Amino acid sequence: MHLYGTQKVNGSGHLEIGGMDATQLAAEYGTPLFVYDIQLFRERARAFQETFKQADVSYQVAYASKAFSSIAIYQVAAQEGLSLDVVSSGELYTAIQAGFPRERIHFHGNNKSDAELRMAFEEGIGCIVVDNFYEIQQLTKLAQEYDRTIPVLLRVTPGIEAHTHDYITTGQEDSKFGFDLMNGQADRAFLQMMQADRLNVLGLHCHIGSQIFETSAFRLAAEKLVGKMAEWHDKHGYTCSVLNLGGGFGIRYTEEDTPLEPSVYVKEMIEAVKIVAGDSNYPVPEIWIEPGRSLIGDAGTTLYTIGATKRVPGIRNYAAVDGGMSDNIRPALYGAKYSSVLANRAQETLSETYTIAGKCCESGDKLIEEAQLPAVTAGDILAVFCTGAYGYSMASNYNRLARPAVVFVEDARAQLVIRRESLEDLISHDLSYGKKELQE
Ligand SMILES: *Cc1c(COP(=O)(O)O)cnc(C)c1O
């Protein structure tokens, strides 16, 4: 069993997170329950920033908050000096309600609405990551209307498709995001933005993939983007000050995953940037990164209560939990793998193999294909590790299941930061249909 961050098995043989007994958390807050190890999140945030400081380059580490968005995590991110990526008015609103510093908010997305861009102008956020030509038109118009200059990054697709353990380079990239770096689109976008007098082009952005375990794709992206910045400098006399290399650093979900230390990705990126900048006589730009999963993923653990079990003789044993694809869609969506432990019997011999099923009405609602556990009984608490990223944020009310509660644990204290949805919450947007007089 691999434990993360502050996790340990305590004297009662129970899983402990942040100094709190997981079985007591389950009893107090109910299950399914997301438990976040906030000390681990802080350590990850500090490690990224420390690496930049040691290399003596200017930087921003932006938490890609689609991984897990809530007022409380935005407040911790602000405390840790992180910047913040948002991709919708909903995430931006959450950030503003959290009191997140506006100048450190970056707005992403491939189809930002006028209303969303207006909100960005009105709040005076740090920058907009421009994705397409339509958005350049929208921004040009709004900048005139608001009579305000807005800082922008240009999102490009550098023709690198990074996968977990390798990458491929393609002449052009088939992606819904960003301007193609090779076919002239990025150059045209740059010129249009330069001509729009109220857009302040900070530099270039790319995000080459997710759950990446090797550094060469990041180095190559850095080379391509700095190369383009040097080319524009020579052609147009314009110096971009920011290079944003996105996120995608891999984490350990199961023993099959072998991630590098977060600092290694950053060190190699910085080295690549310095080399190309040196070769092309270009000033080393400020380097921004956007980790999501690698900041928050392994800080999260989901606690479930086991209910029904089913034996299919000669085939498999199922153990069903009180959540499933409604709080973690990644196994159904991408075949994602997870590891687990019985939180109330963390030291017992792993004698059985179970398929962990959710309670949704889909045969594909399975969280773990082959979980090694002691023989389980109803009422056991199953802890699924590494559910901090893209779990709660992708949760749904499928089958009208209520979304779970979220607690933060740190220094042997627990605090509820998202309350569990109630049955009333589930119908709170419903309206009756029928004759008006019947409704009144
Ligand atoms: C999703 C995303 C990230 C974060 O990706 P992780 O794999 O969670 O690190 C960063 N930047 C952009 C633009 C993204 O879309």
Domain ranges, ordered by start, for the chain: 8-36+298-420, 108-291
Q: Which atom of ligand 1 is nearest to the CA of 211?
A: 7
Which residues form ligand 1's pocket by a CB distance below 6 Å?
Answer: 64, 66-67, 85, 108, 207, 210, 246-249, 290-294, 389
Tell me the C-alpha to C-alpha distance, in Å, between residue 221 and each of 56, 60, 224, 288, 293: 21, 18, 5, 13, 20
Q: How far apart are the C-alpha atoms of 322 and 320, rounded to whole Å?
A: 7
Contact status, residue 412 vs residue 320, Cβ threshold 8 Å = no
3.30.70.260, 3.30.390.50, 3.20.20.10, 3.40.190.290: which CATH number matches 108-291?
3.20.20.10
Per-residue pLDDT tens digits for 275-284? 999 999 999 9
Q: Select from 44, 60, 66, 257 the residue to mutate for testing ligand 1; criterion: most ligand atoms less than 8 Å from CB.
A: 66
What's 8-36+298-420's CATH class? mainly beta
Mean pLDDT calculated for residue range 110-124: 97
Give nearest CA residue, ligand 1 atom 7.
248
| Beta-strand relationship, 316-321 and 381-385 | unpaired
Phi-psi group of 178: left, alpha or beta (phi > 0 → left; psi -120 to 50 → alpha; rest → beta):
left
Q: Which of 86, 42, 84 is nearest to 60 (CA)?
A: 84
Give the CA radius of gyration of the chain. Answer: 24
Any catalytic annotation for residue 386?
no
Separation of CA 314 and ligand 1 centre (Å): 42
Q: How is residue 144 written in tokens?
A: 């005139």
Length of the chain as a residue count: 440
Give the Cα separation of 276 and 283 in Å (integer): 10
Determine the residue type at 349: T
pLDDT band for 39, please (50, 70, 90 cuts).
very high
pTM: 0.96
Which tens digits make up the pLDDT trace of 175-227? 899 999 999 999 999 999 999 989 999 999 999 999 999 999 999 999 999 99
Tell me the per-residue pLDDT of 369-412, one tens digit each, with 9 for 90 and over.
999 999 999 999 999 999 999 999 999 999 999 999 999 999 99
**Tens-place pLDDT, residues 128-144:** 999 999 999 999 999 99
- Name residue, tokens 């009405």: 361
Cα–Cα distance measured from residue 204 to residue 109, given in angstroms and rounded to the nearest whole number: 15
Q: Catalytic pick from 127, 240, 360, 361?
A: 361
CA of 247 to the centre of ligand 1 (A): 5
